[in-house]
């Protein structure tokens, strides 16, 4: 299937792609689509949609995802047809109807669609950056989201019921942030894992990743998994 690209907008180094996809299979929380590269030897790119209603969706990508050679999005612009397949993965939201959600992610693309749904369910959201608050934060995230940067305080760790991590090495990231590992020990740390996903349905066995309970295929059990 393909999506019609309506708009590509740059916001402080992040890119919002709005698309129209009437008749797409329903996409649940936490699931992604795989955007197909024009070169079939290339790998699909996972993108995480926000449902804007009326068959319109938006997803956020980084400048690198948009422009790197071989990216399915490399020449994207209004009117372009973007081939995608999916939804891929399992539906997932932080458990419960309300609580305190800490997000540790450098970019909005993967974590924000899930966090926004959680916000709508009554969760309080705090966002943690490793070094400093980036410029895009105040332009993309609503005022209801609290911003934190640097080493988290013990109070912030105690506050969090669940932490969502979008980092290439989530386990190492947790260990580096002194005290946050406690959230893993109590089963409250979740990470977005997107190893290369060539097929998106469990057929190629290429997307194994480590989870709290063992190894799982991320296109079936992920991409959000308990660490
Ligand atoms: S992408 Fe092929 S098994 Fe997961």
Mean pLDDT of the chain: 91
Q: Is 209 in the pocket of ligand 1 (CB under 6 A)?
A: no
Evaluate if residue 79 carries a pLDDT over 80.
Answer: yes
Evaluate if residue 109 carries a pLDDT over 90.
Answer: yes
pTM: 0.93
Give the percent of the chain with pLDDT over 90: 69
* Averaged pLDDT for residues 80-91: 93
Evaluate if residue 200 carries a pLDDT over 90.
Answer: yes
Distance 45 CA to ligand 1 centre (A): 13
**Among 9-13, 180-184, 199-203, which is the least confidently predicted range?**
180-184
Q: What is the pLDDT of residues 36-52, one digit of tens each?
A: 987 777 889 999 999 99
Looking at the CA of residue 220, tell me the nearest atom of ligand 1: 4
* pLDDT (0 to 100) of residue 28: 92
Evaluate if residue 223 carries a pLDDT over 80.
Answer: yes
* Averaged pLDDT for residues 166-192: 83
CA-based nearest residue to 161, from 95, 227, 90, 221? 95
**Among 56-65, 136-145, 206-215, which is the least confidently predicted range?**
206-215
Q: Is 118 in the pocket of ligand 1 (CB under 6 A)?
A: no
* pLDDT (0 to 100) of residue 123: 97
Looking at the CA of residue 200, tell me the nearest atom of ligand 1: 1
Domain boundaries, the chain: 2-88
Ligand 1 mutation pick, 88, 200, 211, 222, max ligand atoms within 8 A of CB: 200
- Band (pLDDT 50/70/90 cuts) for residue 157 is confident
* Averaged pLDDT for residues 61-88: 90
* pLDDT (0 to 100) of residue 185: 75
The three-state DSSP-derived secondary structure of the chain is: CEEEEEEEEEECCEEEEEEECCCCCCCCCCCEEEECCCCCCCCCEEECCEEEECCEEEEEEEHHHHHCCCCCCCCCCCCCEEEEEEEECCCCCCCCCCCEEEEEECCCCCHHHHHHHHHHCCCEEEEEECCCCCHHHHHHCCCCCEEEECCCCHHHHHHCCEEEEECCCHHHHHHHCCCCHHHHHCCCEEEECCCCCCCCCCCCCCCEEEECCEEEEHHHHCCEEEC
Distance 202 CA to ligand 1 centre (A): 4
Domain at 2-88, CATH from 1.10.730.10, 3.40.50.10490, 2.40.30.10, 2.30.42.10: 2.40.30.10
- Band (pLDDT 50/70/90 cuts) for residue 16 is very high
* pLDDT (0 to 100) of residue 219: 96
Q: Is 185 in the pocket of ligand 1 (CB under 6 A)?
A: no
């Amino acid at each position: 299937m393909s999506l019609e690209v309506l708009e590509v907008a740059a916001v402080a180094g992040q890119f919002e792609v709005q698309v129209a996809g009437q008749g797409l299979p329903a996409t649940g929380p936490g699931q992604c689509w795989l955007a197909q590269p024009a070169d079939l030897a290339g790998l699909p790119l996972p993108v995480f949609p926000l449902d804007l209603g009326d068959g319109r969706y938006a997803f956020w990508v980084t400048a690198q995802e948009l422009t790197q050679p071989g990216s399915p999005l490399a020449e994207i612009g209004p009117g372009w047809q973007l081939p995608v397949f999916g939804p891929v993965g399992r539906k997932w939201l932080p458990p419960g109807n309300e609580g305190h959600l800490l997000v540790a992610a450098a970019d909005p693309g993967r974590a924000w669609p899930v966090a926004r749904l959680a916000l709508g369910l009554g969760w309080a959201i705090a966002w943690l950056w490793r070094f400093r608050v980036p410029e895009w934060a105040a332009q993309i995230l609503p005022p209801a989201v609290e911003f934190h940067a640097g080493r988290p305080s013990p109070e912030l760790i105690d506050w969090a019921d669940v932490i969502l991590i979008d980092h290439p090495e989530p386990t190492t990231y947790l260990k580096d942030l002194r005290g946050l590992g406690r959230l893993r020990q109590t089963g409250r740390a979740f990470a977005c894992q997107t190893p290369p996903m060539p097929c998106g349905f469990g057929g190629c066995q290429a997307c194994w990743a480590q989870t709290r309970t063992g190894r799982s295929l991320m296109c079936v059990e992920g991409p959000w998994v308990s660490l």
